[in-house]
Chain A
Amino acid sequence: MPTSPSPTRRDFIRAAAAAGVAVAAGGPLAALASEPTKGASPVTWVKSVCRFCGTGCGVILGVTDGRLVALRGDPEHPTTKGLVCAKALFLPKIVRSKNRLKKPMVRKDGRLVPIGWDEAMDLVADRFASAIQEHGPNSVAYYGSGQAMSEESYLANRLFKGGIGTNNVEGNPRLCMASAVGGYVSTFGKDEPMGSYDDIDHAKTFFLVGSNTAECHPVIFSRILSARAKGEDVKVIVLDPRKSPVIGVADLHLDPIPGYDLTVLHAMAYVLLKEGKHDKAFIEKNVQFKAVKDGKPVGVSFDDYLAFLEEHHTPEKAEAVSGVPAAKIREAAMLFAQGPTTSFWTMGLNQRTRGVWANNLMHNLHLITANIGKPGATPFSLTGQPNACGGVRDTGTLCHILPYGRVVKKEAHRQQIEKLWGSKPGTIQPKPGLDTIEMFKALGRDEVKAMLVLTTNPAHTLPNSTPYKDAIGKARPDKPFVVVLDAYPTLTTEIADLVLPAAMWSEKSGVFGMSERRYQFHPKVQEPPGEARSDFDVLLDFAGRLEERGVVPKGYIGGKFETTDDIWDEMRLASKDTPYDFMGQTRERLHRERGIRWPTPTVDHPGTARRFVKGEDPLLDAGPWADDTLKPGETSFYAAPGKKAIVWLRPALPPAEPTDEEYPYVFSTGRVLEHWHSGTMTMQAPELKRAYPGCFAEVHPTDAKELGVKTGDKLKITSRRGEIVVRARVVEIPRPGMVFAPMHWADELSQVNKVTIDAYDPGSKQPEFKICAVKLAKA
């Protein structure tokens, strides 16, 4: 790293301010504002939230004559402070792309042809109703998205689980966040991080694991950089087989063989215990230890934990398995112990067949050192979508859960929700529905007869995508009916039976809930193009037509809600007396404030930076978990059994598909800063498209030499499931033996998910996108 004049916090603020003025002051981005306005009309600036990742950057939208013409960072935003990334700047262009879907289209003789909305919705309702009548409610399915608004996911969940009576309700967060959910739930009793972005400003050690924060959550990373620039005593540890741009600020980099990092986390815990860096009093009061024996969780002791680590996970044993030198593991543990430590992780841990366990092991480190519930100390899973947390995890829009921490398996939970929704008692099934992979497998077997896909692109993003693309689109007698609602053409709309044009985020009002439990309102600032409608509107219409056909009780949804505002109060009620309590987040407050972090039990409560901490978490002051024996600053894991979080003794199992002689390389996928997911939005901005015109594969120079591959050569990457051909980029970023390619391009040769594996975590059902075995050849 070359040194430039040492930046300071002031620089950060100045930079943030500069971002704020860039558009308004006629800087290089003024074109964004001036291009469609033709001079005369004034620009009105409206507070909103970015459409992209789970960072949840506050933005201000510039609107002229009812059109979104500009976007800038919101300097008043409490956590992102005016920063945005390059993707966000181009949102106005992306929204007004000429490629937007504007008319419903139905497939006739293999081709998509225009159809009227009324006819289209009748077709959807007929196909769903006849499937339900002939084959029962479990013959239909919903596949939603962490990009739909909370109200939309909640409404879909309400319709399918409590109206139609099927738990076949899934969404793309299964592909990205399910293991984090499993980790939080199995360790702390309930989902979602206890800390917040505030902790970034107080942490002395950052532990970044399986997260290219610099590119995938660039604004979070900028905050880490600012924290680090404040003083020499802030350290960054990175555990990742790739030298992604985060390495630029790492004090210590541990690069495990992909899939063999669990033992490294255990070994760090071992060092912490052996060196006496654990907090005995905290453990005594707040922590219990568990292992799984004969398929059942059993309580064990601290000594059992230590013996388990001693037997299997000393740094030397971890080195033998992971390839990470024991000395580095010791060093990492000691840096971790210095604290306060904030850990961030994403898909490198979650997209694994042992994703839940990996998450547990992260929590273990924080629990044994009491690096939790204090400023700067928290285990924090970052989210990749703007509303995976608030919209899907919290509203319970997955096959096994119900709103706000409830599960379908518990009778009391089902009854509470049936009562709230006005469902006929017994409508919500006690058995979880099909999880994502099983749902698409069932679609391929024609067992799911009708599916609604909403604001996501499974033909591109499911692992081992080829058979699932066939499931969605392959012509066959009595083919299941797949309807897709989207704003842009995607690989999924290309093969769907019916395509409905959707409104984009700036064309509808609703709430996004980002990684730190902050619910933020984004307003409608313009009309959607052509005949496009919001997901909410389409779901209401759909529900009404199902009621007409007698497969959903009359008046169950029809007549109850017209707008997302209407349903919000019911959602608040659903959260009452749960750890998610946001009764105090009235619509009026959300309009006015820059997001509020739950729990927020009352309208005068400012929101919660740290859960489970007396004096900060309002649920420890009043309600079912109130505890007056605690002193301010003391922790109570009230959602966990016995109010004690669980340190799990998890075995360190290998990935589902280890490398072998035939497939000797590890293939891993990810993102670049300027693109997002399947690229259907970011590729609409010519500037972003040009920044990354095509897919590439990073190959380590050692491997490149062996393969005779140079930068720019075409590289064939073949797994047991499929192959892609992309340009090689010989660079010392992946670990030797590993090849990495981003996921954003849709052309046949670049669809990385033709190669990835659909094996999934038995607990979280999240697939192992990050690791599979491939062979490489110059093409």
Chain B
Amino acid sequence: MSEWRYWFAEQRGTLLALGIFILMFIVYTANHPAGFNANVVQTASNKGVLLAFIAMAQTLVVITAGIDLSVGMIFLLTNCLASWIVVGNPFETTLGVVGVLVVGALCGALNGAIVIYGRLQPIVATIATGAVYFGLALLLRPTPGGSVNEDLADALTSKLFGFMPASLMALIVIVLVVWVPFSRSVYGRAAYASGSSEVAAYMSGMPIKRGKFLAYTLGGLLAAIGGLFLTFFTYTGDAAYASGNAYTLFSIAAVVLGGVSLYGGKGSAIGAIFGAFAFRTIGDLLFVFDFDALWQPLFQGVVLLLAVSLGAFALFRVRNRLEWFG
């Protein structure tokens, strides 16, 4: 019995995000003209998975009490790169995929190096590297275009066994291959610890710097996976500035909804995934209720503003006003 209690306590944020998502999704499908069927699920999944990857990427960095404002631009850059190199025969395609992932990881590693070893503020550093990544994306695709191995793209965006969206399956695999090992590694724990209390982590002799660096690098890798999937969905590369910015913004919203603390140390990528799904569904709710699509950005903005304000409730517990100032 008590075992469950602690599990609940630890997973509270994640479960809350899951709850919000399920609720929203029920409301969504119940009012969807087509009702609940495999196609609706597949469309929703494909849209949600993209944000889920970016939100996971953001989570890794946020856990260390940092932030990655370049995540949307890494997403664009890898999308544009994939539209060049993920083509040809299976071997070439594989090489292309690996290339895209490596570039993403390098972008993340560069962010990490500048923040950790260069000791720059994550906000400004990643805004600046974001500009570089966007420039590179624009260099690759001054106008939208390119192509992708369509067999692979179709395979990863279709349904498995007639009902399971392949993109969702891919997300689960990535969680198992990237997130689970990271969160249970010594470095993952150091990343959490440094976000929670850097002094205590140091006193405990944890590998803080390497843990953080790994978190930034994997963040870049996950953003690249998102970029790959964007290419699979659209068959093109497009360096769309507004889209990159929107993904960065939505990743933060998803992370907050997913119960990941922006002060670091708390939350999981699984929560962020549900947060991403919930955020997407909330945005799509407007459609099923026949609201004009024009209201969507405002609605999403307000959801984000409210979500980040929720954290302020902790202020009521502060008994020493000096704690306001960190």
Q: Bound pair: A and B?
A: no
Chain B residues close to A by CB (< 8 Å):
none
Chain A residues close to B by CB (< 8 Å):
none
